[in-house]
Amino acid sequence: MTSGSIRTGRIEPNQHRTPPGRWAGIRRAGAVSLALALALCSGLAQANPEPGQLNLTRGVTTWSEVPYFLNNVVLGVCVVIGILVFGAMFIAMFRFRKSRGAVPEKWSHNTMVEVIWTTIPVLILVALAWLATGGLVSFADTTGSQMTIKVTGYQWKWRYDYVDYLGKPISKVGYMSKLDALSDKTRQLHSGLDPYAVTTDGYNTYLINVDKPLVLPIHTKIRFVITSDDVIHSWWVPQFGWKMDAIPGIVNTAWTNINETGTYRGQCAELCGQDHGFMPIVVKAVSQEDFAKWLADQQQASAPAPAAASSAAAPASAQTAAAPAKAGNG
Amino acid sequence: MAHEATHDHHDDHHHHAPQGFFQRWVMSTNHKDIGTLYLVFSLLMFFIGGSFAMVIRAELFKPGLDLVQPYFFNQMTTMHALVMIFGAIMPAFVGLGNWMIPLMIGAPDMALPRMNNLSFWILPFAFTLMLSTLFMAGGGPAGGWTMYPPLSLQSDSLAYVVFAIHLMGISSIMGAINIIATILNMRAPGMDLLKMPVFVWSWLITAFLLIAVMPVLAGAVTMLLTDKYFGTSFFNPGGGGDPVLYQHVFWFFGHPEVYIMILPAFGIISEIIPTFARKPIFGYRAMVYAIASIAFLSFIVWAHHMFAVGLPLGADIFFMYATMLIAVPTGVKVFNWVATMWGGSMTFETPMLFAIAFVILFTIGGFSGLMLAMVPADFQYHDTYFVVAHFHYVLVTGAAFAIMGATYFWLPKWTGHMYSEFWGKVHFWCSVVFVNVLFFPQHFLGLAGMPRRIPDYNVAFANFNMISSIGGFLFGASQLIFLGVVVHCAFFAKKKATDRVWEGAKGLEWTVPSPAPHHTFEVPPVVRDEELAHGHTDD
Amino acid sequence: MASHTANGQIEQKRRHGVRRTVTVLAIVVGAFYLLSFAQILLMK
């Protein structure tokens, strides 16, 4: 595998950790269009997805507000336009029926009206584009990260490697994460087991639980470098607000900065073969102190085992080894 | 008057049709017979593809795997898409084009009748080849209809599917060449380009899209084939290739393909609404220009299917803006349809009902399309059921509803008999209710985080999946009513159709007898502007 | 079918037009097919 095929992430504008403030304000203001969804979300902060959930999750990171807010704004715009257009249609259908004696008029164009309904959508779109572009630029800015995690997709499990934390490289901390045993047993064809019985802490985790979750600290800007060892996968935790494809031969980057401790669940979001539906993602977000302790334990546990050498390049292939090298610059 | 010449054939119109079944249907060079073949084939594929959808919805009825293995489930989603796109929607539009374009422009037949026969008869073989893989040891294709490598290269049936797609592509390209050659050269004197029905315009533009993108699809799948069997590394990172390049090439085909499936629908709706509103279409030229701009824009938005692959920031922004721009001409079309209805004198026969449902439900699909265009939000929506809901609103309540509306609209012209208005309306109301029960909850599933193409799911998604499945079964069953109405109209209906069929119908196709005789417009008709649907193009 | 057309002049014009259209379109098809390969090679 040649290094020529590695594409280096994205253009990184020279902004330094800008977005959280702006979006946090909006978040605290609680500008929400779908009150029902909000009520469902606020009830169980841990639980995701919600039974009967109607809207996007607002997420738990500094950036996850962006898609949530944008979703609500565009949805609102669409609802308003929809009411106007469909309203006009229904009025027309009621007023101009032959059975009510309507006589067809002859006109078939009106330049004024046509100019208006071409211009107004353009103005709306410009406003939406402005909002979306801001959010996109902040997402693309992976600079200033305090930690790097390498995510590798396999058919059908994930591998997590801890590359660096607070400027210090980490070696030998990395592991596979796959569907938990109970879900796996239950999901077999004609297993006879009840999916409703697969619970963790009173919350149903059928197909969204793993044997070993990814442990991350909160209030830390974490950079992910994402790649794959076989086919294309996509790493997605809805509470983080984004998904990023894991593509063999390519290293993609993304970042997150989690606000609250908790367990956040997602799934592979790119068809990757027969068990595509069975490779969930679980992130356990803990406080920085707990994380430091956990990391020390992991390093200690792996230290005496020579077999686990160079965990960062564990799936030994040239293109994955490029990730830590790149991470060093970041 | 040209109609006198065609009226001569009215009494003995079977005279010219070949007598034997084989002669008539297999050897046919007649645009009407070939159009019928396309439409019958498309209906058959609609039910085959629909049966795959029933398997999908049955498995998703409740959490837990109850019916099929995940790999077979993936074959079903893949085959459902391939059959519906290439077997049901596209041939239906080609069939409608075959039947109606020569009638609408006053041509005696398609420009290349023998090629027309060939482009149809390739299709049954292509689909036999593709569907046969389901009965083979390794199973059918299971990597999704987009066939992204490296996953698609793991499939044993790749070669079958690639060859089937080559055949379908050749068929589509020949059909498109035929349609362009017909429209550009075979119009009756006086049928200026800007007096043509919008349906003909939409097909002209669609045919150009087909010609531009089907060869690109052929190229992309050829590279898959050589990657798998001949050791090339177009998409293999191990050999210096790039899997993302496939996606770029595929979606350069794929996005225009989406419009190939909707532009003729725009044309159909633009014929049906003025007919039943008894008022000329609002802004004829704007409608034509809007179709042309949508077609142009479709070439520069392909990467909006790929926002999650990690495009550079600049590319994300460019493709987002270009995609959002499409909302403008699409909006113009919707506003113009509403304005056509405004001030009209409307009646609500089945074709009109389908057209109105199209405008409302397609617009809902357009709204979710606009939401998907916003890249940060798309990071959440991408590859979830929100996308599934979006494109089914566009393709089922969009393209398929337009095809059904067109069928009711022109069926009396084809068969010479009126279909049962009562059962047509029953079919409409069942379809429009159940299709929303089927697809609307999928928006919620996607927003809540359910990925596409999964055979089983967490119990949090259970309620909406069950509602969706029930809607799916009932929508599927409703289509049997459609079959019944069509078969009844073609073989058993007693009520004769008049030549004009609908009170407000305008255009050359309504000047020929019902049923349309085997040969029409052998002498080019004299075109009189006031008889055309769009004769006065002062706007 | 075209051979039934009474007006020979129109028939002639159509025949020429169709031939020209098909030639141009066939070239376009071939060009786009090759373009898909060219795109891959150029982006390497």
Please report residues of A whose CB lies closer than 8 A to that of B341.
89, 92-93, 96
B367 with A52: Cβ contact below 8 A: no
**Disruptive mutation site among B521, B522, B527 for chain C (greatest number of C CBs within 10 Å):** B522
Tell me if B29 is assigned to some domain: no
Which among A31, A10, A14, A13 is positioned nearest to A22, based on CA atoms?
A: A31
Q: Any idea which residue has 């079309």 for tokens?
A: B333
Confidence of residue B536 (pLDDT cuts 50, 70, 90): low
Would you state the pLDDT for residue B338? 96
B514 is catalytic: no
User: B518-531, pLDDT tens digit by residue?
Assistant: 999 988 898 888 88
Residue A303 has pLDDT above 60, yes or no: yes
Confidence of residue B376 (pLDDT cuts 50, 70, 90): very high
- Rounded Cα gap, residues A311 and B377, in angstroms: 34
- Beginning with the edge strand found earlier in the chain, give each strand of the sheet holding A214-217 in spatial order: A214-217, A280-286, A262-267
Confidence of residue A24 (pLDDT cuts 50, 70, 90): very low
Nearest by CB to B277, from A7, A56, A104: name it.
A104
Would you state the pLDDT for residue B531? 81
Would you state the pLDDT for residue C12? 85
Would you state the pLDDT for residue A298? 92
Residue C13 has pLDDT above 90, yes or no: no
Residue C5 has pLDDT above 80, yes or no: no
Active-site choice (B452, B453, B518, B519): B452
Residue A324 has pLDDT above 80, yes or no: no
Tell me if B257 is assigned to some domain: yes
> How many residues comprise chain B?
539
* CA distance to partner chain B, nearest, from residue C17 (Å): 6
- Per the prediction, chain C carries an average pLDDT of 79
- Rounded Cα gap, residues B359 and B268, in angstroms: 12
Q: Are C20 and C12 in contact (CB under 8 A)?
A: no
A266 with B242: Cβ contact below 8 A: no
Range of the domain at B166: 34-531
Distances (CA, A) of B105 to B113, B175, B192, B242, B407: 16, 17, 9, 47, 19
Would you state the pLDDT for residue A14? 40
Average pLDDT over residues A93-118: 90
CA B410, B411, B412, B415 dihedral sign is positive
- Per the prediction, chain B carries an average pLDDT of 93
Residue A3 has pLDDT above 50, yes or no: no
B524 with C29: Cβ contact below 8 A: no
Q: Give Cα A64 distance to the centre of its chain.
A: 8
B80 is catalytic: yes
Average pLDDT over residues B480-509: 94
Would you state the pLDDT for residue A247? 96
ipTM value, please give it. Answer: 0.90
- Rounded Cα gap, residues B95 and B33, in angstroms: 9
Please report residues of B whose CB lies closer than 8 A to that of C34.
219
**DSSP string covering C19-34:** HHHHHHHHHHHHHHHH
- Per the prediction, chain A carries an average pLDDT of 82
Q: What is the DSSP letter of B490?
A: I
User: A160-218, pLDDT tens digit by residue?
Assistant: 999 999 999 998 899 999 999 999 999 999 898 999 999 988 889 999 999 999 999 99
User: B316-353, pLDDT tens digit by residue?
Assistant: 999 999 999 999 999 999 999 999 999 999 999 999 99
Q: Where are the domains of chain A?
A: 8-141, 147-329
Would you state the pLDDT for residue A9? 38
B494 is catalytic: no
Which among A179, A153, A160 is positioned nearest to A234, based on CA atoms?
A: A153
Would you state the pLDDT for residue B138? 87
Please report residues of B whose CB lies closer than 8 A to that of A50.
448, 460
Would you state the pLDDT for residue A39? 40
Q: Are A285 and A217 in contact (CB under 8 A)?
A: yes
- Rounded Cα gap, residues B282 and B286, in angstroms: 8
Average pLDDT over residues B219-239: 93
**Disruptive mutation site among B31, B112, B115, B177 for chain C (greatest number of C CBs within 10 Å):** B177
Confidence of residue A323 (pLDDT cuts 50, 70, 90): very low
- Rounded Cα gap, residues B42 and B95, in angstroms: 8
Q: CB distance from A90 to chain B under 8 Å?
A: no
Would you state the pLDDT for residue B9? 41
Q: State the CB neighbour count (10 A cutoff) for residue A113.
A: 14
Residue A20 has pLDDT above 60, yes or no: no
Q: Percentage of chain A with pLDDT > 90?
A: 67
B452 is catalytic: yes
Confidence of residue B485 (pLDDT cuts 50, 70, 90): very high
Tell me if B2 is assigned to some domain: no
Q: Which helix (H) or strand (E) holds B381?
A: helix B375-381
Residue B7 has pLDDT above 60, yes or no: no
Six-digit token pair at A184? 């796996």
CA B155, B158, B164, B165 dihedral sign is positive
Average pLDDT over residues B62-70: 93
Pairwise pLDDT comparison (A29 vs A250), residue with the higher score? A250
Confidence of residue A310 (pLDDT cuts 50, 70, 90): very low
Would you state the pLDDT for residue C9? 81
Angle between helices B327-341 and B284-297 (to 10 degrees): 160
Confidence of residue A330 (pLDDT cuts 50, 70, 90): very low
Tell me if B5 is assigned to some domain: no
Would you state the pLDDT for residue C34? 87
* CA distance to partner chain A, nearest, from residue B533 (Å): 12
B152 is catalytic: no
Pairwise pLDDT comparison (B125 vs C2), residue with the higher score? B125
Produce one character per residue of C8-27: b if its CB has 16 or more CB atoms within 10 Å, e if not: eebeeebeeebeebbeebee
Residue A272 three-state SS: coil
Residue B249 has pLDDT above 60, yes or no: yes
Q: Are A264 and A19 in contact (CB under 8 A)?
A: no
Please report residues of A whose CB lies closer than 8 A to that of B334.
85
Q: Are A40 and B349 in contact (CB under 8 A)?
A: no
- Rounded Cα gap, residues B32 and B505, in angstroms: 20
- Rounded Cα gap, residues A230 and A233, in angstroms: 9
CATH of the domain at B489: 1.20.210.10
How many CB contacts within 8 angstroms connect chain B with chain C? 94
Domain count, chain B: 1
A71 with B74: Cβ contact below 8 A: no
Would you state the pLDDT for residue A47? 52
Confidence of residue B16 (pLDDT cuts 50, 70, 90): low
Q: Return phi, psi of residue B251, to 5°.
A: -75, -20
Q: Percentage of chain A with pLDDT > 70?
A: 77
The hierarchical CATH code for the domain A147-329 is 2.60.40.420
